[in-house]
A and B are shown apart, each in its own frame.
Chain A
Amino acid sequence: MSAWISAPEDDMVPPEIISTVFYSATVSDSLAILVAETVGGTQRLTWGNEGAMQLLGYGLEDLRTLPAAHLFPTLGGGELKLLLRRERTARMTLPVRMASGATVDAVVITTPAPGGRMWAMRILDTTNEQERALRATADAHERRFSALTERSPIPTLLSEQGMRLAHVNDAFCTLVGLRAEQLLGTGWIETIHEDDLDGVIEQVSAALEGAEVETQARLLRADGTVRTTVIRFAHLFTPGMGAGFVGTIEDITDRLAFEAKLAHQANHDPLTGLPNRTLLAQYVAEKFRAGTSGLACLFLDLDNFKVVNDSLGHTAGDELLVEVAGRLGATVRPGDLVARFGGDEFVVVCENVDEETAVALAGRVSEALARPMRLGGVDIRPYASVGVTVQTVEHAAAEELIRDCDIAMYQAKASGKGRITVLDQEARAQARDKLRLVAELRDAIEHREIAMYYQPIFSTRDGQPVAVESLARWDHPERGAVSPAVFVPLAEESGLITGLGRFVLDETCRQLAEWDHLLGTGVVGRANVNVSALQLDDNLAAQVADALDRHSLAPSRISVEITESALMKDPASARAVLQQLRDLGVELAIDDFGTGYSSLAYLRHLPVDCLKVDRSFVAELADGHSEIASAVIAMARNLNLCTVAEGVETVEQAEELTRLGATYLQGFSLAEPMSGGHAAAWFAAHSEDIS
């Protein structure tokens, strides 16, 4: 219809077509069409099709008498003009009055005919079944969706424009402690922590443009507390409207707190709450910049902590540690780290300090610790030895710093308790040299590079060599010969003594077996092997037995020499070990006899065969002082023990010792220590001389 109204000049449409279209419009019951006309200043209805009559319930005759305004009860005053425009089509949604007096909601579209006096009106019932059904379905969807989110325990946000919320559910209101009215629109933005807001907006932007994203954000509750959450945003598009987002929130505060607690537990000492060794290492590694300075470490070790623990009990010991931790924390500067290194050891790490400041701090710490405290009814002063190290360009790695202040602490302890020692260049160099030497000693033992030398021991009865003493010697490729007085204590400190001892024992046995093979069994009757105090344990007898067994030697071929001081460290257990060796059948000698302070009464009960007279007493013979050597030899004889006089340098000494009644002699003047091969040759030559 609009074709010929809007283009009346188009007279190309044949009348047949016009009548066909008009006929179909007339009889259509799905299309309601009316025609209105201005008659005497009033708009009246002049025609209606079948559809209009069905919709409105009027007969055609009744319709023709009606003013157009009658159909539209809501159009008051001059408003009919708005619907029946002269120049253009108009469209209105409004109730249309039916013959029954009831109204039907409809969209009315009017099209004026040229001249502006007549209008064609199409009435579209908006309440038809299909639309109602569609709307009902849509409403049901909407209700289901809102019920779902409303009752969901997951805090949910819904935006239909930018950051503006159109909807929040109860769970979100509960999470932040505010009412929905306070959160809708941009109100919820106030609940986002200021520092996290940019991140949230960034993710919202991404979501609005179609992405699915998430971000971590802190939400501020109305009561002032903070919850940490993960917000997940999904894109939401409404056709014809634009984009929004659905946000769901997961409160991870408790999970993070639990994780933080676990992490704290992993990195902190449960007793004092201080960072532990792991965290200390991380911290120092983080702060350490090689080639710079300014980082300092204080290593503290409580003096006599063991005494407190042993005498007052572990609870008192724990109490002391907690008190010390508290005093340390209160004394160091803000920003300094106090860590419990282990046991009664603590480490303080400071930044931006020179040596003077670090030592001053160590002084303050010592003073603070030394204040008396009452523990188990006793007043004690927890003194500490403190090692201080300030970072230098020579520190290549963070752990060197801690190791150095550990060394400094040991130096402090060694020089008397309650002291502060700074690890200086020389001490550091020495410590490093020692470390290197330990490594080299380990290699030397592993590769059997420790050489064994054997010094003959002579009987005073007939002047014949009856035994040898095994002496370990370390010829260092760069340092030359390293004295046993250096490397044996080093092996003892660094836990290498067991390996060294086992090597000496095994090599001596091997050599004895070889000599037996070369010279005939028993030409070298016995070998004396030195044993360190640290070897005096339950394993020693078994090791000796193994070595003898491995080389098929009788136990009597070995004499184990133990220093007097080693025996006195723990006399009871030493005695037990000696007894095991004795039971095995090996001989036992006490080395360096007379230099310690052993009780003679105690000595009487030790299962030993021989006393070695210390070389210092032998040397005194040259000055005419034979008193001690004489007394030792006499005492041994009275206890039915034999004696070996060490360090015999001259023929006169040998004669004097023989006169005093010594059983055996050993010394440079009689025979120097020699290698296994030389010893074989020496013994061979000696036996030839005799024969």
Chain B
Amino acid sequence: MTVTPFPGADIPAPVFDIEVILAGIDTMAVQKPVAAQIISVANSDDTDAKTLARILSSDIALAGRVMKLANSAYFGMRGRVTSLQFAVTVVGFTTVRTMATVALTDLDDESRLPGNFWDLTTSLALGASTLAPRFGERPPDSLCLGLLAQLGAALLHHNDPEGYAEIVAAHPTFRSRRAAETRRYGINSLRLTAVALEQWGFPAAMTTPLKEIDDYQTMDGALLRAAFEVAARLTIDDYEDIPIARLTLGRLREDDLVPILDLVRSEAAELKYAMLGQPVDDPEGNPDGWVF
């Protein structure tokens, strides 16, 4: 760790060199070229399912996850998805891209992640996706935003396991945790996610909420704030609820959350298994059965 004070900055200087992490992101693409290619291609407006499926088919593990996700209860297709191309169509290009990002950044390796990472992430993603229409957002985009939001936290944890664990232990609420992250690393985990996503060409619509989450005066971060609240209520023991109206500038009431919480609770496990490619004995997980 190097201590590099930033002259001119208004807040205390960070105690951790973020450059290490950023350098790490750059090397990921080299190690996982297929995932990197998908992230790059899926961004284009003229991308089609055929092209994505073709690239995807050279990464069996990733293709398997896409197939599994497409057949999961989340998309309601009940095992009807037997071709990779159709799987790409069903889950949508943004989701394929998100899954490639998950693979690229080793988010699928739970040993490298903070505890409770995927339980929180799937609840966050489902919460965002389910609430999206209330905020005028597209559910698939919000799902992906939720799935990737904690990418920054994962990177911080991976590069500074002890330091990050201390922060998590000392700050049970996300907002205070972000402040602590900024003090230690010079950047909070969500902004770090935004930086990484911008670097890979994800649209501003996806990065803006990450950057604006702590601005309680604007709606930009409201959906993500609400989704974090949903995820926290469902996954953190003894969590002290924050009134949802305050987080969403009055857009949501507590009553609105009741069906959302039920829905997220029932779908989260399935989505987690699909994202992580578990369980392994599932027939959809057998590469021989796929049609590319």
For residue B267, give the distance in angstroms from its CB to the closest CB of chain A: 8
| B139–A160 CB distance below 8 A | yes
For residue B284, give the distance in angstroms from its CB to the closest CB of chain A: 15
| A161–B77 CB distance below 8 A | no
Q: With A and B bound together, what is the CA distance between A209 and B91 in angstroms? A: 13
CB under 8 Å from chain A, chain B span 245-292: 256, 259-260, 263, 267
Q: Which of B9, B80, B94, B198 contacts A77 (CB 8 A)?
A: B9
| B8–A69 CB distance below 8 A | yes
Q: With A and B bound together, what is the CA distance between A91 and B81 in angstroms? A: 37
Q: Which residue of chain B lies nearest to A243 when distances are taken between CB atoms in the complex?
A: B89
For residue B76, give the distance in angstroms from its CB to the closest CB of chain A: 3
Known contacts A186-B267, A198-B78, then 12 further A-B pairs from the complex at CB < 8 Å, ordered by chain A residue: A74-B211, A78-B13, A82-B187, A82-B195, A93-B207, A107-B204, A126-B204, A161-B91, A161-B139, A202-B80, A205-B77, A241-B93
| A42–B18 CB distance below 8 A | no
Is A377 in the interface zone, CB < 8 Å from B? no
**Chain A: residues with CB nearer than 8 A to chain B?**
41-42, 67, 69-70, 74, 76-82, 85-88, 90-94, 107, 126, 160-164, 166-167, 179-182, 184-187, 189, 197-198, 201-202, 204-205, 208-209, 239-243
Q: Which residue of chain B lies nearest to A126 when distances are taken between CB atoms in the complex?
A: B204
Q: With A and B bound together, what is the CA distance between A208 and B185 in angstroms? A: 45
A243 contacts across to B, CB distance below 8 A = 49, 89-90, 92
> Which of B19-27, B55-63, B221-229 faces chain A?
B19-27
| B11–A76 CB distance below 8 A | yes
| B198–A80 CB distance below 8 A | no
For residue A319, give the distance in angstroms from its CB to the closest CB of chain B: 56
Known: A163-B76, A242-B88. A81 touches B186 (CB 8 A): yes
Q: Which residue of chain B lies nearest to A189 when distances are taken between CB atoms in the complex?
A: B76
| A241–B94 CB distance below 8 A | yes
For residue B187, give the distance in angstroms from its CB to the closest CB of chain A: 5
Q: Which residue of chain B lies nearest to A183 when distances are taken between CB atoms in the complex?
A: B259
Q: With A and B bound together, what is the CA distance between A40 and B26 in angstroms? A: 27
| A240–B44 CB distance below 8 A | yes
| B6–A186 CB distance below 8 A | no
Contact with A along B41-75 (1 / 0, CB 8 A): 00111110100000000000000000000100111
For residue A233, give the distance in angstroms from its CB to the closest CB of chain B: 14
| B133–A163 CB distance below 8 A | no
A182 contacts across to B, CB distance below 8 A = 259
Closest 8 CB pairs of A and B: A78-B186, A163-B76, A162-B75, A77-B186, A242-B92, A162-B90, A186-B76, A93-B204
Q: With A and B bound together, what is the CA distance between A180 and B86 in angstroms? A: 28
Known: A80-B6, A160-B139. A185 touches B46 (CB 8 A): no
| B92–A167 CB distance below 8 A | no
Pairs across A and B, CB under 8 Å, 27 listed: A41-B7, A77-B6, A77-B187, A78-B14, A79-B195, A81-B19, A87-B23, A90-B195, A160-B92, A160-B140, A161-B95, A163-B75, A164-B75, A164-B139, A166-B140, A167-B133, A181-B130, A184-B130, A187-B263, A201-B76, A201-B77, A202-B80, A240-B47, A242-B49, A242-B88, A242-B93, A243-B89
Known: A161-B90, A181-B259. A82 touches B138 (CB 8 A): no
Q: Which residue of chain B lies nearest to A89 when distances are taken between CB atoms in the complex?
A: B199
Known: A85-B22, A93-B207. A201 touches B130 (CB 8 A): no
Is B4 in the interface zone, CB < 8 Å from A? yes
| A208–B14 CB distance below 8 A | no
A94 contacts across to B, CB distance below 8 A = 211
For residue A125, give the distance in angstroms from its CB to the closest CB of chain B: 13
**Chain B: residues with CB nearer than 8 A to chain A?**
4, 6-14, 18-19, 22-23, 26, 43-47, 49, 70, 73-78, 80-81, 86, 88-95, 129-130, 132-133, 138-140, 182-183, 185-187, 191, 195, 198-199, 201, 204, 207-208, 211, 256, 259-260, 263, 267
Q: With A and B bound together, what is the CA distance between A92 and B201 in angstroms? A: 10
For residue A108, give the distance in angstroms from its CB to the closest CB of chain B: 10
Known: A239-B46, A242-B93. A82 touches B207 (CB 8 A): no
| B11–A162 CB distance below 8 A | no
| B138–A160 CB distance below 8 A | yes
Q: With A and B bound together, what is the CA distance between A69 and B8 in angstroms? A: 8
Q: Which residue of chain A lies nearest to B73 when distances are taken between CB atoms in the complex?
A: A186
A180 contacts across to B, CB distance below 8 A = 133
Q: With A and B bound together, what is the CA distance between A93 and B204 in angstroms? A: 7
| A78–B46 CB distance below 8 A | no
A201 contacts across to B, CB distance below 8 A = 76-78, 80
| A242–B89 CB distance below 8 A | yes
Q: With A and B bound together, what is the CA distance between A107 and B205 in angstroms? A: 13
Known: A179-B259, A181-B259, A209-B86. A82 touches B10 (CB 8 A): no
Q: With A and B bound together, what is the CA distance between A67 and B10 in angstroms? A: 13
| A92–B7 CB distance below 8 A | no
Q: With A and B bound together, what is the CA distance between A80 and B19 in angstroms? A: 11
Q: With A and B bound together, what is the CA distance between A92 and B208 in angstroms? A: 10
Known: A41-B7, A186-B76. A77 touches B92 (CB 8 A): no
A74 contacts across to B, CB distance below 8 A = 211
For residue A184, give the distance in angstroms from its CB to the closest CB of chain B: 6
Q: With A and B bound together, what is the CA distance between A197 and B80 in angstroms? A: 12
Q: With A and B bound together, what is the CA distance between A103 and B80 in angstroms? A: 50
| A78–B6 CB distance below 8 A | yes
For residue B135, give the distance in angstroms from its CB to the closest CB of chain A: 12
For residue B145, give the distance in angstroms from its CB to the closest CB of chain A: 14
For residue A497, give the distance in angstroms from its CB to the closest CB of chain B: 72
Q: Which of B12, B46, B91, B199 contacts A242 (CB 8 A)?
A: B91
| B263–A205 CB distance below 8 A | no
A167 contacts across to B, CB distance below 8 A = 133
Q: With A and B bound together, what is the CA distance between A249 and B12 in angstroms? A: 60
Known: A85-B22, A164-B74, A201-B80. A79 touches B187 (CB 8 A): yes
B139 contacts across to A, CB distance below 8 A = 160-161, 164, 166, 184-185
Q: With A and B bound together, what is the CA distance between A187 and B263 in angstroms? A: 8
B138 contacts across to A, CB distance below 8 A = 160, 166, 241
For residue A165, give the distance in angstroms from its CB to the closest CB of chain B: 8
Q: Which of A82, A163, A185 contacts B18 (CB 8 A)?
A: A82
Q: Which residue of chain B lies nearest to A164 when distances are taken between CB atoms in the complex?
A: B75
Known: A185-B130, A240-B93. A42 touches B8 (CB 8 A): yes
Q: With A and B bound together, what is the CA distance between A88 and B13 in angstroms? A: 24
Q: Which residue of chain B lies nearest to A180 when distances are taken between CB atoms in the complex?
A: B133
| B76–A162 CB distance below 8 A | yes
| A78–B95 CB distance below 8 A | no
Q: Which residue of chain B lies nearest to A107 when distances are taken between CB atoms in the complex?
A: B204
Most chain B C-beta atoms within 10 Å of own C-beta, residue among A67, A90, A107, A242: A242
Q: With A and B bound together, what is the CA distance between A163 and B204 in angstroms? A: 27
